[in-house]
Homo-oligomer: A and B are copies of this chain.
Amino acid sequence: MNVQEMARQVKEASFALGATPLELRNRALKAIADALKDHKEDIFAANARDLSAGAMLPAPILGRLSFDDHKLRDVTEGISGLISLPDPAGKILFKRELDEGLILTKVSCPIGVIGVIFESRPDALVQISSLCVKSGNGAILKGGSEAKETNRTLFSVIYEAGVRAGLPEHFASLIEDRAAIEELLGCSDSVDLLIPRGSNAFVRHIMEHSDIPVMGHASGLCHIYVDKNADPDMAIPLIIDAKTQYVSACNAAETLLLHKDIADVVLERLKHASGQHVDYIPAQSEEDFREYLDYKMTTKIVNDEDEAIAHINRYGSHHTDCIITEDEAAAERFQTLVDSAGVYWNASTRFADGFRYGFGAEVGISTGKLPPRGPVGLDGLVTYKYRLKGNGQIVGDYASGKKAFHFVDLA
């Protein structure tokens, strides 16, 4: 069966899945978590085959590829957390009487079918399929080929447990063939949203080669601007945290903008700061305004706040940017004028994360301008529809003036 037909099957199933009550979806999630624990030996054996086939891969990739007791506990705990979250679908966003007996309700509902393409981590397969079950969306999953055996085993455990618990057949589907990705990108009839997880180049490729909306970020070039009225005692640990707390994260800071009046003091103290060594590299050219994902940080001295803001809007990735200052008006100006999903005042850019925002789950982080923007929780996997209930109302009566709308919000 080709990808197009498979996607069509998931699409058909997604209508039934979207109509299931929360109680059934939660019960299925519980069954999935239990099945993962029950089949852990099969899963670990499959993972051992992947690890042995990939023995020549670099250590960080092997680390991501490995699926052990620790990762199993993480994903099953993640599922328990998901079960406890409220239903993102079926929320009444507003309810309005347009006229007597004519009631408009805006209600959240699943998006439909989500295509998720992820690289080496097999735990992503469990996370994303459980997020889709919770939100009532069909899922098409494509994992990295190096995790083929693990993904196949994880998927079959999840799929069988889900169907046995009452989810419709084809509620999710696994793609194994790498060439199938390009086919999937063309399935705009069946797939409503793509979520790529992987390197910047990989995400950019997906964004550029599909008509399907993509949720994600191709890069995370976050800035810290140290204003002239910054408190250096606050600035130093904050810069170091934003840079080094997890260097390969998209919300790690990459460029440090320093007001000319405070630059010397801050740079001097950073040089002597304890902890992990960071290379602070004075900007020489536009090439230096880049995402290092390493213990390196470009520094640039600016004449005033407006220059810092213009720099961020021009070179940034609209992800998360921070001003350090004691001056409330400068902070307000920065947070208003910087065009990023996260605009921070005196807090590390590393806070940009669905869990740290209190969303309970994270679907991803989007640097697109349209919603969902920034860290996206379960609410990013629903859209809405308008339900209108009448008793035979026709527009002709309102056009002729025989009747008139009165618009009363009921909820």
Binding site for B on A (CB under 8 A): 15-16, 18-19, 96, 98, 102, 104, 111-112, 192-193, 207-208, 211, 213, 231, 234, 237-238, 240-242, 245-246, 309, 313, 331, 335-337, 339-348, 350-352, 356-358, 368-371, 373-375, 383-396, 398-399, 405, 407
Contacts and interface: CB of A to CB of B under 8 A. Distances in A.
19 contacts: A102-B347, A102-B351, A192-B369, A208-B211, A213-B369, A241-B394, A245-B396, A341-B386, A343-B388, A344-B387, A345-B389, A346-B393, A347-B388, A348-B393, A350-B395, A351-B388, A351-B395, A369-B383, A371-B384
A307 to B, nearest CB: 13
> Which of A208, A343, A392 has most B Cβ within 10 Å?
A392
Given A98-B358, A339-B112, A346 B390 contact: yes
Contact of A386 (B16, B231, B245, B374): B374
Contact of A343 (B112, B193, B207, B386): B386
A227 to B, nearest CB: 14
Contacts of A386: 341-343, 352, 357, 374-375
* Residue of A211, A337, A348 with highest tally of chain B CB at under 10 A: A348
A343 B347 CA distance: 45
Q: Which of A18, A386, A389 has the most CB of B within 10 A?
A: A386
A350 B396 CA distance: 9
Copies per assembly: 2
Contact of A389 (B231, B346, B350): B346
Q: Ordered nearest first, which 5 A-B pairs have the shortest CB separation? A: A347-B390, A241-B394, A350-B395, A234-B392, A358-B407
Given A245-B394, A390-B346, A370 B111 contact: yes
Given A373-B383, A385-B373, A96 B358 contact: yes
Given A213-B370, A387-B343, A313 B98 contact: no
Contacts of A351: 98, 102, 388, 390, 393, 395
A87 to B, nearest CB: 14
Contacts of A98: 351, 356-358
B19 A336 contact: yes
Contacts of A18: 336-337
A136 to B, nearest CB: 11
A121 B95 CA distance: 34
A188 B348 CA distance: 29
Given A336-B19, A356-B395, A344 B237 contact: no
Contacts of A392: 231, 234, 237-238, 346-347
Contact of A238 (B345, B375, B394): B394
A81 B368 CA distance: 31
Contacts of A398: 356
Contacts of A389: 331, 344-347
A238 B398 CA distance: 13
Given A98-B357, A341-B386, 13 more contacts: A15-B339, A112-B339, A213-B369, A231-B392, A234-B391, A241-B395, A342-B385, A344-B387, A345-B387, A345-B389, A351-B388, A357-B386, A373-B383
